[in-house]
Homo-oligomer: A and B are copies of this chain.
Amino acid sequence: MNVTLRGHTQHFRTVAFDAAENSVLLIEQRLLPHEFKIVATPNFRATAAAITDMVVRGAGAIGATAAYGLAQGALDFRGRDLKKFSAHVEAVYQVLKNARPTAVDPVNAMNDVRRHMSPGQTVAERQFLALAAVEEFAREDVRHCEAIGRHGAKLIRNGMKILTHCNAGWLAFVDIGTATAPLYAAQVQGKKFHVFCDETRPRSQGATLTAWELAQQKISHQIIADNAAGHLMQRGEIDLVIVGGDRTLGRTGEVANKIGTYTKAVLAARHNIPFYVAIPLSTIDWNLKRGFDIPIEERHESEVLGAWGMISNPKSEIRNPRLVRRAYVRIANPTSGAVNPGFDVTPGELITGIITPLGIFKPQELWLRRHELGFELQ
């Protein structure tokens, strides 16, 4: 998507590749929204470290980064011995896999690249196939998000006020994003609308990443405390909710997503506000039988007890504050602890529709139309 730097607007992908330098280009997401910087990783180990250290985050984006890292590692190989090359690629694969051990996207993406490499008869041929495969993987990620945007934009009418939670934006994918894709597509169609970004405590991805994305795309938006959405709905200020999904159960239509998503779904149902989840097909889990069995990551309590930000003066110009330096402040009582579940599970009954690259489905339809949606017996 577009980023405006010193008055010049340029297009960037979250993850890209510099073939001449054999390096992966990543937006340094830990500096956002306060600073925009592109990092070029010199080798596959640096690419793995960027995943571990959360320079890049978001399911689609780390999948593509690992795939690029695998091609990068393969291209670094010197020699013609296919056996040694295979052992090298296996080692690269393991390093990248261990960069974020619980994530499934890097593994799926790298398996895809390996499948495409294997017909190659020489090292050079396999290297070429690896690069071609990862470029196609990234293009496909973009095409899927574009298709989500095309289907989702039909839901957006002029004058609508739309609520989002967390960040399932272009920073979480190679480009465009999922929950944000309908917004960007509707904007291209010339529709006028306003977005409320839930802050999304404790990590505030709505206030930092989503708000930054929307500001760069010049989409009208305001940040709200997570506590305020219910009041706005009660006053008729929200017409539509669109969120992303980390894992969707194909059998039940339940969606696991960032903590707080369930609350917004309950509120939307009470106010008869349509609640949509936008996801790529790769996040559908066809095996798990009930949402209760989805493991919920318990994250570190320091996220709840404080916050990261730029030290500044709240009385200075609030729209362009003078920012001093990044710091963690302890907000909470220093002798108290916290519980910090990272995700929650929204039942299908609260979800109006699931926006996929193949169209919008009722949660209950997923299983019936599973063959169309890429269900494979495992």
Q: Cβ of B266 and Cβ of A227 under 8 Å apart?
A: no
B335–A215 CB distance below 8 A: yes
Which of A230, A232, A307, A334 is most buried by chain B, counting CB atoms within 10 A of its CB?
A334
Say whether A274 faces chain B, with CB atoms less than 8 Å apart: no
Chain B nearest CB from A119 CB (Å) reads 46
A259 touches B331 (CB 8 A): no
In the complex, the answer to whether B339 meets A330 with C-beta atoms within 8 Å is no
Tell me the A332-348 residues at the B interface (CB within 8 Å). Answer: 332-341, 344-345
Per-residue CB contact flags for chain A residues 310-336 toward chain B (1 = under 8 Å, else 0) read 111111001111010001111111111
Known contacts A228-B260, A230-B266, A329-B311: does B306 contact A336 (CB below 8 Å)? Answer: no
* Chain A residues touching B, range: 35 or more
Q: Is A196 an interface residue (CB 8 A)?
A: yes
Q: Of A65-73, A205-213, A277-285, which binds chain B?
A: A205-213
Among A215, A258, A259, max chain B CB count under 10 A is at A259
A223 with B335, Cβ < 8 A, contacts A231-B344, A306-B312, A327-B327 known: no
A312 and B337: CB pair below 8 A? no
Q: Which 9 A-B pairs have the closest CB atoms?
A: A227-B260, A309-B329, A33-B333, A230-B263, A231-B344, A207-B332, A211-B333, A211-B336, A302-B314
